[in-house]
Amino acid sequence: MSHSLPGKNSVIPKEYRIAAEALFPPGGKSPGDLPAAEDFADALGIGAEYKRILKEKKDAAQLREFLGHFQNNLDLLIQKTWVEKADVARKNKLQDDLIPFTAMIEQKELLHAVEKFGSIIEELAYLFFGRQSCEEDFFEYTFRIDEQMGLFWWYGTQIGSLKKTYKIDKPNDEKLWKILLIGLCYLTNF
């Protein structure tokens, strides 16, 4: 899923493009803040869950519980994914990456967690779609299957390139949490 960023926005259906470009502005400008994140979560169909989790008290126990749900659901998705024998090692590595990833979030290492999440989504796309996830028309393909799912895979490449493409002022900025939480909620409810 290492697609070049320019031009990818053109495959996003018009009804989602405004929310997508508000959260991830073209030209490498700083990502959008809470209203943009909420609009994007709404576009993915997870807006209510996203807003609920944002508004909940942010204590360690609640975060750990949410991350436990995320990890369990993602682990089930990975386990249920059929892969060729040659890709079993990739599948196992992805499962092994979940615990260190959630630990990064709990330790508030958000920039590292965002980078890791991008690679998790990329690997997940490969497990779901195989080599098609590496093709230039991958986003068109996923948008034809389901527009919200296509938007999620597009989000995955944006979050994966967040550090090198967008201006990040603070590595543990609350904005990073709001952007990361979108994907966590989507996969928790997938």
> In the 3-class helix/strand/coil scheme, how is 49-101 assigned residue by residue?
HHHHHHHCCCCHHHHHHHHHHHHHHHHHHHHHCCCCHHHHHHHHHHHHHHHHH
**Domain enclosing residue 39, as ranges:** 8-188
**Angle at which helices 110-129 and 88-106 cross, to 10°:** 160
Q: What is the largest CA-CA distance in the chain?
A: 44
Tell me the pLDDT of the chain averaged across its residues. 88
- What is the share, in percent, of the chain residues with pLDDT greater than 90? 60
Confirm whether 3 is domain-assigned. no
Q: Provide the percentage of residues in the chain whose pLDDT is more than 70.
A: 91
Higher-confidence residue: 175 or 7? 175
Lowest-confidence pick of 70-84, 130-144, 168-182: 168-182
Residue 6 has pLDDT above 50, yes or no: no
Q: According to the model, what pLDDT value does residue 5 have?
A: 40
Q: What is the pTM of this model?
A: 0.90
Q: Which pLDDT does position 9 carry in this prediction?
A: 66
State yes or no: pLDDT of 111 exceeds 80.
yes
Instruction: Let me know if residue 100 belongs to a domain.
Output: yes
* Domain membership flag for residue 2: no
Does 160 score more than 90 pLDDT? no
Residue 142 has a pLDDT of: 94
Residue 151 in any domain: the answer is yes
Q: Does residue 123 fall inside a structural domain?
A: yes
Q: Quick one: pLDDT band at residue 55, thresholds 50, 70, 90? A: confident
Contact 39, 179 (CB under 8 A): no
Residue 45 falls inside a structural domain: yes
Into how many domains does the chain fold? 1
Position 72 in a domain:
yes
- The pLDDT, as a whole number, for residue 147 is 93
Among the residue ranges 49-58, 130-139, 143-152, the one predicted with the least confidence is 49-58
Q: What pLDDT does residue 128 have? A: 93
Going from the C-alpha of 135 to that of each of 69, 84, 100, 138, the distances in angstroms are 31, 19, 29, 5
Tell whether 1 is covered by a domain. no
